[in-house]
Structure formats: structure tokens, C-alpha cells
Structure 1
Amino acid sequence: MNDDVVFRAQGLTKVYHMGDVDVHALRGVDLDLRRGELVVLLGPSGSGKSTLLNILGGLDVPSAGHVWYDGHDLTKASERELTRFRRQHVGFVFQFYNLIPSLTARENVAIVTEIAEDPMTPEEALRRVGLEDRMDHFPSQLSGGQQQRIAIARAIAKRPSVLLCDEPTGALDSATGVHVLEAIETINATLGTTTVVITHNADIARMAHRVLYLGDGRIVSEKLNDARTPASELTW
């Protein structure tokens, strides 16, 4: 595998068995994700975006095909090995923040730093997302965008090589969503973290190095952005 390739998927297929019905979420996806790039996955609901992200992150396993991370075949990994892979290498950000309401921002991030091998301090992680003045606030004292930035700080505090974001602005208005995207953009640029962002919002694709369009469980097209738009200039 090329040293520049972090993930390689070949023939990735996922079928969910729903009673007597088989639902084909992925239909033979081939994909390379390169070190340090920011990729946006676009597509309608049911196109396979989240399923693909979950398989790359070791949260789900394919029905057929293979996915390699840094040359290691994740499709042959045990559950214990997948747990170690997620803990050491992958940061997740979801649409809903999943913060513990009784813990401060600092304490929510510390949950991860206490189990990581080479973590940032919670303070450094929160500084990187622009929340150095909110470290001792509880989630209820923060806006939705600030809570999502805590979730990003928590995800990057273990210094993951990959950041996987599933609709990170889906619950936010445009102005607040831009602040969240700026945090993701900064992490990608300063830490070199390979970053994948799922969204329904085509405008967000303008900040990516590369845009993949999914439809009916397949990658139907790909676009390279020769001139990227800074997150701060995005509007929708």
C-alpha cells in the first residue's frame, strides 16, 4: 500500500437483513483516503454514507470486501483488535454531542485523555477548538456550537490519525455550524489529521480537498477542489 494511503477499501459491501428483506447499504465501494486530506462525503439519506464511515471507524464490519488501515486488514480483526484500533487511531464526531451533563467541558475531554496512550491535555484540546475560556462550564451553560466543539476536542485529544465526522453541523444553524467547521478545518491543517465529513449540505463540500458523491450504496462521482473555500466564508 502506498505510504500516503491511510484507508483502502476494495469491494466494500454491506447488507442488513431486516426480516425477509435484505437492505443493501453498500454495493462494492472502492476507496482510498490519503494522509492529511479533508474529504467530504455527500449524498441523500440512505446512500450509504454513515455505513461507510462506521466501517472505516471499526464500528461496523462489512458483509463482503476488505478495508485496510495503514496496511492492516480491519476485516480480519477481532473485536478486541477493533476496540484497540478505535481507541488508538480514530476520533468520532456525531450530529449529537453525547456530552455528560454533570461534567465540565474539561472533564468531558478528560474522559478520553485518561485512557489514551499519548494524549493532549484537556486544556490543549479545548484551546485548539477555541474554548479556552469555557473549560469549567457545564454543557447546559454552553451553546450547541460550543458543545459540538467540546465533542471535537474530546475526539482529537487522543491525537487520532483519523477524524470521522457524521453530520457535525446537522443540529446547528448556519452561523454556529461555520464555527464548528472552522474547528474541524483547523485540526486538519495543524495536526495533519485525515478528516472525513458526512453532510447533506453541498455548500460544505467547498472546504474539502476532495468530494465523494454517494448514491444507492456506491461512489457515483468524485471531485477535487482546486481552490478550497475557507470554512469562515461558507454560507447556506
Structure 2
Amino acid sequence: MSETQSSRVEVLKAVGITKVYRSGTVAVDALKGVDLALYEREIVALLGASGSGKSTLLNILGGLDLPTDGRLFYRGRELSALSDAGLTEFRRRHVGFVFQFYNLVPSLTARENVALVTEIAEDAMTPEEALDRVGLASRMDHFPAELSGGEQQRVAIARAIAKRPDILLCDEPTGALDSKTGVTVLEAIVEVNRTLGTTTALITHNVAIRRIADRVIYMADGEIARAEENADRLAPAEVSW
């Protein structure tokens, strides 16, 4: 991004986030005092080996899990102090999730899968608009089994963005796809970021994908090892792996 970080508007801010998982007398430190801010309209790539804490951090940022210690803020409001009902409301109103596996309902068409969200969200897009945004206008009435993996993932993206979320969190969205199909999915994510201004965090094991992001966060052993800015982002079609 051309702006300095100090001039950007913080959407999410994590301060000293730790997460400890316990099993009997065994404690596993999944996150160790993570400090991170996500800013309006940016795409952030989270990279790191399995077990580095990427998914744990993403789940906490999205209100799916609570930290063991530390504080999390959404536009200045402390999320880490909310009840379960408050976190559910935060997720419902402000966060869209996209995972490696599409989690579509097999017995529903693409249109009907997206409608599951639009029927309960405020100020939602129509399913048709959401699907059109990810290039599936001609596939709305197909069932998941009639769609390719990339098309199913784009339905999942349409479902996530239909409520016009402020934040889009993607956990390995191209992990189950070949490179050509993965590029199509990344193009949908970048287009949503461009047109809706959705703050986007993207977990990937694929280091090549970092080039589409504004910033890259490298994680190791539950900590942020380093962060870097991408002065020259690439379009998804320019990325090869």
C-alpha cells in the first residue's frame, strides 16, 4: 500500500495474544504473545509451517475462538471481553470465512447455499449478485457435485461475502486446488477486496501466493517471525507455482 501504516485505519488489533491448549498435564503454546493489526482494504498473507499458529490466530481474529491471554479489538471495541452471544453477533455481522474444504450443502444448489446466509444477514446481497461477483452467474442452479473444485470454492466465497463483511478470513482457500484453478479462486478474492473494500487475511503454505498481498506475515512456533510489505503486488494470473 502507498500509505504509511500510521495513516491506515485499524480494523482488527491483537495485543499480546496467547493461546494454550491443555491435555491433562501437557500444555501446548499455540500462540505466544502475538501483536498484529489488520487495516482497512488490505490483503495480508499469513505464511508458516504447519503448527506455526496461523489457523489458531485466524480463528481468534474471527471470533471463532478466544485467546488464553491478551486482548483483541474490532474498530476499537474489545472482542476478548464479549460473551459467546456477543462473539456470535460479531461473526454474523462482520466476518466472512473461507476454508480449504468448501462446506457446501450437497442437496442445495449454488444459489441455495448462498441463500443460507442472505436470508439471515442484514443488508445482504442477493445470492445472484454474490455469485455473479465470483463469476458464477451461469452456474447458480447447479448442485455442488455438478461443479468443479474451483467453482465450489467460489460458491463458498460468494456465501462468505454475501453479507458484505468488513473482514474476510481465508484458511488455505487454494490448498485443495491445482494452480490454474487456484488462480481463479485468488482472482475472486482479490476482486472482492477491490470492489467491496473487505479487509482480507489469507493463510497459505504456498509462498508464491504471498505476491498478491499488501503485507506478508511469517509465523514460526506461535510467534510472528517477521513481516514485510509488498511494494509491487502481482495479479493472481502472474503468480505461478
TM-score, with structure 1 as normaliser? 0.99
Which residues of structure 2 form unaligned runs of 5+? 1-5
Aligned equivalent of 2:50: 45
Work out the CA distance in 2 between the residues paired with 1:36 and 1:155.
16
CA offset at residue 3 of structure 1? 7.0
Aligned partner of 1:145 among 142, 145, 150: 150
Q: Secondary structure at the match of 2:12?
A: strand
Matches within 5 A, 1:56-67: 56-67=61-72
Amino acid at match of 2:139: R
Aligned partner of 1:112 among 108, 113, 117: 117
Q: Secondary structure at the match of 1:75?
A: coil
Aligned equivalent of 1:207: 212
Work out the CA distance in 1 between the residues paired with 2:110 and 2:15.
39
Structure 2 residue 128 is matched with structure 1 residue 123: yes
- Provide, for residues 175-213 of structure 1, a one-character-per-residue CA deviation record: whole Å limited to 9, x for no partner: 111100000000001110000000000000000000000
Work out the CA distance in 2 between the residues paired with 1:51 and 1:18.
17
CA RMSD of aligned residues (A): 1.1
- Provide, for residues 143-190 of structure 1, a one-character-per-residue CA deviation record: whole Å limited to 9, x for no partner: 000000000000000000000000000111111111000000000011
CA offset at residue 19 of structure 1? 2.1
Work out the CA distance in 2 between the residues paired with 1:19 and 1:47.
22
- Provide, for residues 28-64 of structure 1, a one-character-per-residue CA deviation record: whole Å limited to 9, x for no partner: 0001110110000000000000000000100000000
**Aligned pairs, how many?**
236
Q: Secondary structure at the match of 2:195?
A: helix
Aligned equivalent of 1:12: 17
Aligned partner of 1:103 among 108, 123, 136: 108
Work out the CA distance in 2 between the residues paired with 1:195 and 1:16.
27
CA offset at residue 2 of structure 1? 7.8
The structure-2 alpha-carbon separation of the partners of 1:68 and 1:2, relative to structure 1 and needing over 3 Å to count, comes to farther
Give the percent of matched residue pairs that are identical in Structure 1 and Structure 2: 66
Work out the CA distance in 1 between the residues paired with 2:73 and 2:14.
6
TM-score, with structure 2 as normaliser? 0.96
The structure-2 alpha-carbon separation of the partners of 1:35 and 1:177, relative to structure 1 and needing over 3 Å to count, comes to same
CA offset at residue 20 of structure 1? 1.8
Aligned partner of 1:168 among 165, 173, 196: 173
Structure 2 residue 141 is matched with structure 1 residue 136: yes
Aligned partner of 2:222 among 210, 214, 217: 217
Work out the CA distance in 2 between the residues paired with 1:101 and 1:107.
10
Q: Secondary structure at the match of 2:193?
A: helix
Work out the CA distance in 2 between the residues paired with 1:19 and 1:146.
43
CA offset at residue 232 of structure 1? 1.3
Amino acid at match of 2:78: D
Aligned partner of 1:187 among 192, 195, 212: 192
Aligned equivalent of 1:77: 82
Aligned equivalent of 1:227: 232
Q: Secondary structure at the match of 1:228?
A: coil
CA offset at residue 18 of structure 1? 1.8
